[in-house]
Amino acid sequence: MQQSNVVVIGCGHMGCDIAAIFLKAGWRVQAVEPFASNRAAAAGRMRDGVAVLQGSWSDELLRVTAGIAEVDWSEARIVIETVSEDLATKQQVFRELDERAPAHIPIGSNSSGFRITDIAAGCSSAHRMANAHFFLPAHIVPLVELAKGEKTSEAAILELQEAFEAVGRVVVKINKDLPGLLANRIQHALMREAFSIIDSGLATPEDVDKAVRYGFGFRYAAAGPILQKELSGLDTQLAAASSIYPSLCNDPQPSAGLRALVEQGRAGTKSLRGFWDWTSEEAAAERLRFEAVLNRAAELVQHSPAVLPGA
């Protein structure tokens, strides 16, 4: 049996949530975090994540270090990089991993905005490097996207897939190296139209959210968009698309309204101002509600897989 030891680079929210998945499954985790404040908070964040997953905590499974040079590679099975979404920072981390991590260990980047081909540029072992993208909150949302770069081997993809599935993740594989991978490309098509609707005054942010959450989005807990249209009728989809598509937003630039909010420092709950104004208590309470609902939904979805013909 292969060893169950993962190296997580970065102890921000994403890194801690990913580490919690593996800790709950009984894996040993070596977490690397250069910033002392994040390092000090890491174990507590991971412990909270394991608690949400209804797992038991063991201090013996976790080791937090300040740098990649301190990692014990003797039993490491995979590496997951979760540093800030900055290409130069990721490239620097990958160059160090290229030099220090034994060549048989596959390395995944949690980035969805940058191609793994660009992140791994100049690395001699780019064949073992791939995008391995989780979704916030990563310990609850089941999906992991695996994308091959121009040099990524199928063996590396299969090793990462095996490790993620061993800890209960649902893996999709993407065979073309594009920014946004799969899910975010679909999500951003929706968000472009949603922000365009708000900018044009067609509907309020509240009604956009209601239309998605209580309308077509409600069905996605039972079926993805392709299966849902298979059930409702592909002919109906074609007819509706022919009528609706010409009026959809296809602007290559982000929403003007969204840009204005960000330029005003209205970044959402992180700044306590976005489309709405929040108190710290309101933002914390909403995050708890959000994660609790997702946790219940994850349980439902994972126990109710679609049954396709021939399955």
**Residue 146's domain spans which residues?**
5-174
Tell me whether residue 307 is in a domain: no
- Give me the sign of the Cα torsion angle 96, 98, 104, 109: positive
Q: What is the pLDDT of residues 98-115, one digit of tens each?
A: 999 999 999 999 998 999
Lowest mean pLDDT among 13-17, 32-36, 111-115: 111-115
Q: Which residues contact 278 (CB under 8 A, 6 or more apart)?
A: 269, 272, 286
Tell me whether residue 310 is in a domain: no
Same domain, 30 and 52: yes
The answer to whether 148 and 130 have CB atoms below 8 angstroms apart is yes
Long-range contacts of 268-277 (CB under 8 A, 24+ apart): 275/205
Q: What is the pLDDT of residues 62-71, one digit of tens each?
A: 999 999 999 9
Q: What is the pLDDT of residues 137-161, one digit of tens each?
A: 999 999 999 999 999 999 999 999 9
Same domain, 170 and 201: no
pLDDT for 261 equals: 98
Tell me whether residue 308 is in a domain: no
Same domain, 203 and 288: yes
Same domain, 210 and 105: no
Tell me whether residue 298 is in a domain: yes
Secondary structure of residue 171 in the 3-state scheme: strand
Whether residue 1 has pLDDT greater than 50:
no
- Return the amino acid letter for 69: A
Whether residue 2 has pLDDT greater than 60:
no
The answer to whether 128 and 114 have CB atoms below 8 angstroms apart is no
Tell me whether residue 79 is in a domain: yes
Tell me whether residue 311 is in a domain: no
- Return the amino acid letter for 136: L
Domain boundary residue, one of 152, 174, 196? 174
Same domain, 214 and 297: yes
d(C-alpha 93, C-alpha 9), whole Å = 8
We report the CATH number of the domain holding residue 239 as 1.10.1040.10
Tell me whether residue 209 is in a domain: yes
C-alpha distances out from residue 222 to 163, 225, 291, 293, Å:
26, 10, 19, 15
Same domain, 142 and 159: yes
d(C-alpha 204, C-alpha 195), whole Å = 10
We report the CATH number of the domain holding residue 58 as 3.40.50.720
The total domain count for the chain is 2
User: What confidence category does residue 38 fall into, taking pLDDT thresholds of 50, 70 and 90?
Assistant: very high
Tell me whether residue 309 is in a domain: no
Please report, to the nearest 10 degrees, the dihedral formed by the alpha carbons of residues 231, 232, 234, 237 taken in order: -140
Share of the chain above pLDDT 90, in %: 94
Q: Residues 69-97: what's their mean pLDDT?
A: 97
Whether residue 296 has pLDDT greater than 80:
yes
The answer to whether 131 and 112 have CB atoms below 8 angstroms apart is yes
Residue 261's beta-bridge partner residues? none
Whether residue 3 has pLDDT greater than 70:
no
